[in-house]
Structure 1
Amino acid sequence: MTLMKSGANPLFLRDEELRQGIEMLFFAYRDFTAEPDAILAERGLGRAHHRVIYFVGRYPGMTVSDLLSILKITKQSLSRVLSQLVREGYIHQDQGVEDRRQRLLRLTDKGAQLEKELTENQRQRIERAFRDAGAEAVDGFRKVMLGIVNAAEDRDRFDAAIRKRR
């Protein structure tokens, strides 16, 4: 029976290992968001704006309801952020075809340019980390991250994407 692979600590569930994992998440998030935060600050925007821009760019035509479901924020909070992004020309809202009450969201050219600028550094950071860690570690990372995600529908989103690639 092999307990360790490539120097892995067999005592990974000890309090110190778990606390290091928590700290690593804090430091990784700080560094992962630093450059986008600076870009956003120059435009008078913040992380909430970034999340909206990212997901609307990733899923063009998504409804406001879908966005609320992903972000898990109040309608009032989203309304404030979304109104600013629409007013400043980053996002366009279309009326739903089947349900005219729906608002379908998409990035404008200005919004797409900002999304690309915000995401590029983060994409490069993830790419470098994945390349350095290797395929087996990336698979482990995904399992750990999915294990942290609460909602089954959010985990299912990634399972479906993985099945689609196969």
Structure 2
Amino acid sequence: MADIKTPANPLFLRDDDLRQGIELLFFAYRDFTAKADQTLAQYGFGRAHHRVIYFVGRNPGMTVSDLLDILKITKQSLSRVLGQLVRQGFITQRPGTIDRRQRLLSLTELGADLERKLTEEQRALVARAYKAAGAEAVDGFRKVALGMINEGDRSRFRPTTR
């Protein structure tokens, strides 16, 4: 493996630099999800449940259609996960105020408690990494991550105000 401390010249990225970036993403994701996976397992939930709980918590009153757009999964996949979360009392659904066919999603108190528990460790991990890396690295990470997501989703993120 290449030395992590060696700065890469972005104009001349070698295959090894790119592969190391891919490996870093794999390892970071593994460690980012590890504690949450343990907590989810206690409820018989998986990462799909986590994503639904997280995004409904961040966007109370969001529609099922909006959630499908964020997650990029099939209605059938979402229906299975969402149905379980509703039945077990983590999420509520109510009809839309203008279009009664819409289903608006919100976390229940139980769901909000689980979302806090799941996010707590992840927030701490990201905060430690950001603090150790410094403001310039945080901005660089943000630029890299934004560059990796599809263009349509980039508008979901507000510009930094530092």
Q: TM-score, normalised by structure 1?
A: 0.91
User: Match of 1:31, as an amino acid?
Assistant: D
User: Match of 2:138, as an amino acid?
Assistant: V
Aligned-partner SS, 1:157: coil
Worse-matched range after superposition: 10-19 or 119-128: 10-19
- State yes or no: 1:9 paired with 2:5: no
For residues 117-160 of structure 1, what are the alpha-carbon distances to aligned partners after superposition, in whole Å with 9 as ceiling and x for unaligned?
Answer: 0000000000111111111100000000011102x2210111xx
Q: Distance in 2 between matches of 1:114 and 1:80?
A: 19
In structure 2, the residue matched to 1:88 is 88
Instruction: Indicate the RMSD between aligned Cα atoms, in angstroms.
Output: 1.5
Identity %: 68
Q: Distance in 1 between matches of 2:100 and 2:133?
A: 48
- Which runs of no fewer than 5 residues in structure 1 stay unpaired? 1-5
Aligned-pair distance for 1:13?
1.0
Q: Distance in 1 between matches of 2:119 and 2:85?
A: 17
User: Match of 2:153, as an amino acid?
Assistant: D
In structure 2, the residue matched to 1:138 is 138
Q: Distance in 2 between matches of 1:19 and 1:130?
A: 22
In structure 1, the residue matched to 2:64 is 64
Q: Distance in 1 between matches of 2:123 and 2:89?
A: 24
Aligned-pair distance for 1:9?
2.5
User: Match of 2:159, as an amino acid?
Assistant: I
User: Match of 1:147, as an amino acid?
Assistant: G
For residues 95-122 of structure 1, what are the alpha-carbon distances to aligned partners after superposition, in whole Å with 9 as ceiling and x for unaligned?
Answer: 1000000000000000000000000000
Aligned-pair distance for 1:17?
0.4
User: Match of 2:146, as an amino acid?
Assistant: L
Aligned-partner SS, 1:92: strand
Runs of 4+ in 1 over 4 A off after TM superposition: none
User: Match of 1:8, as an amino acid?
Assistant: P
Aligned-pair distance for 1:7?
5.7
In structure 2, the residue matched to 1:74 is 74
1:120-139 to 2 correspondences below 5 Å: 120-139=120-139
User: Match of 1:77, as an amino acid?
Assistant: S
Aligned-partner SS, 2:115: helix
In structure 2, the residue matched to 1:162 is 159
Q: How many residues align?
A: 157
User: Match of 1:59, as an amino acid?
Assistant: N
Q: Distance in 2 between matches of 1:119 and 1:74?
A: 25
Q: Distance in 1 between matches of 2:42 and 2:74?
A: 26
Q: Distance in 2 between matches of 1:7 and 1:20?
A: 12
User: Match of 2:139, as an amino acid?
Assistant: D
- Which runs of no fewer than 5 residues in structure 2 stay unpaired? none
Q: Distance in 1 between matches of 2:9 and 2:58?
A: 38
